């Protein structure tokens, strides 16, 4: 995929699926496949802090085999050094991971770099840092990650909307039941893990969140 195509897809992206086995109800492969079947997932991030590089590579290869035919971007959490080996579209770094500048150096100018943000100041720094997009959170309590900050809810989204011209994905405990609260606060995108993968029907959960974000049942890729 060309760099321009990656960034065009990112600009259109609304629903960003964060994949961790712990978030899944049942086998992770089945949950992810059912979520992708919805046709509304635009980006998949593989986030498995506990896997060694060999196991992470194998899992990323499985995801790449599903995401490429679906026209879905694949992002690796933290492991910038594995992006080229997996033909991933980019890397996402948090505050305890590589700095954005170092991640960019490793993956090069053609791949995407995302960064976690937690307030309007950090959101405003997304573009100047050289990142292509940001995650914003936590919005709600979540069982899949130990939170270092209190969830900000719709007020966090409201405070940060308009602080950057880069795509911004609210994250943290987002579900079909609460996503409309964030939309009302200005969100047009969302990053979701257990709110989709932890449901008995991941496809239906993804579609529900997609409808809330205005994606429709499916989009042209």
Whether 145 is a known active-site residue: answer yes
Residue 100's nearest CA partner among 121, 120, 80 is 80
Whether 49 is a known active-site residue: answer no
3-state secondary structure of 27: coil
Set 34, 47, 189, 199: catalytic member: 47
Set 116, 129, 189, 199: catalytic member: 116
Structure tokens at 21: 């086995």
Whether 47 is a known active-site residue: answer yes
Contact (CB, 8 A) for 138 and 151: yes
Set 9, 111, 145, 199: catalytic member: 145
Residue 24's nearest CA partner among 199, 212, 208, 201 is 199
Query: For residue 43, what are the β-bridge partners?
Result: 16, 73
CA dist 62 and 64 (Å) reads 5
Report, as residue numbers or ranges, the catalytic residues: 47, 116, 145
């Amino acid at each position: 995929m060309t760099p321009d195509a990656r960034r065009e897809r990112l600009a259109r992206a609304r629903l960003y699926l964060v994949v961790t086995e712990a978030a899944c109800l049942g086998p992770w492969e089945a949950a992810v496949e059912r979520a992708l079947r919805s046709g509304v997932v635009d980006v998949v991030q593989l986030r498995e802090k506990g896997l060694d590089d060999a196991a992470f590579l194998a899992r990323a290869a499985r995801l790449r085999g599903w995401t490429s035919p679906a026209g879905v971007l694949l992002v690796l959490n933290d492991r910038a050094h594995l992006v080229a080996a997996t033909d991933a579209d980019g890397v996402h770094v948090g505050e305890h991971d590589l700095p954005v500048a170092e991640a960019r150096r490793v993956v090069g100018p053609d791949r995407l770099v995302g960064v976690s943000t937690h307030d309007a100041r950090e959101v405003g720094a997304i573009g100047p840092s050289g990142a292509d997009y940001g995650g914003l959170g936590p919005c709600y309590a979540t069982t899949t990650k130990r939170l270092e900050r209190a969830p900000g809810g719709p007020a966090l989204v409201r405070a940060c909307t308009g602080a950057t011209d880069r795509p911004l994905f609210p994250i943290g405990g987002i579900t079909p039941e609460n996503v409309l609260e964030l939309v009302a606060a200005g969100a047009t995108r969302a990053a979701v893990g257990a709110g989709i993968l932890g449901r008995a029907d991941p496809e239906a959960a993804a579609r529900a969140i997609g409808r809330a974000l205005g994606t429709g049942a499916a989009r042209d890729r």
